[in-house]
């Protein structure tokens, strides 16, 4: 469970966490499944196809209802390539087998406490 505060200090307005993933399925997949309990706020799932610290993030938003465990399915086709909040039109296509890192983010300068509990994240075929 992630409970934290987003504050405007030092040009703030977002909080994020990420980790390298391995091993991924040998076969390609076309969606990411989540089981989460949110607080009614909007979050982003970030996927990266390299292991670098800074670079293109493929992002898709989701907004789980407050206080309820729910399943979310995010199709890879719905992820948009961005770099520091700006769209990257010439980014390579996102393929499931190429994902190196996964992360979660709350953004849009939503200054207050937030809570997102995560029971599971997995690769899936739609």
Domain count, the chain: 1
Residue 45 confidence (pLDDT): 94
CATH at 105: 2.60.120.430
Contact 94, 76 (CB under 8 A): yes
Q: What is the pTM of this model?
A: 0.82
The range of the structural domain enclosing residue 68 comes to 2-124
Task: Read off the tokens for 95.
Answer: 């393929």
Residue 98 confidence (pLDDT): 84
Residue 96 confidence (pLDDT): 83
Q: Distance between CA atoms of 76 and 93, rounded to whole angstroms?
A: 10
Per-10-residue mean pLDDT for the chain, 126 residues long?
53 70 70 92 91 87 95 94 89 86 80 83 76
User: What radius of gyration, in Å, describes the C-alpha atoms of the chain?
Assistant: 14
Closest among 46, 61, 44, 35 to 100, alpha carbons compared: 46
């Amino acid at each position: 469970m992630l409970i934290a505060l987003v504050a405007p200090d030092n040009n703030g307005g977002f909080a994020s966490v990420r980790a390298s993933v391995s091993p991924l399925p040998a076969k390609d997949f076309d969606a990411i499944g989540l089981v989460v309990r949110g607080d009614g706020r909007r979050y982003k799932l970030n996927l990266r196809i390299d292991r670098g610290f800074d670079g293109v993030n493929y992002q898709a938003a989701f907004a789980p209802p407050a206080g309820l465990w729910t399943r979310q399915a995010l199709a890879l086709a719905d992820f948009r390539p961005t770099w520091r909040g700006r769209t990257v039109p010439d980014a390579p296509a996102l393929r499931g087998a190429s994902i190196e890192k996964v992360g979660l983010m709350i953004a849009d300068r939503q200054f207050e406490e937030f809570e997102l509990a995560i029971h599971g994240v997995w690769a899936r075929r739609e």
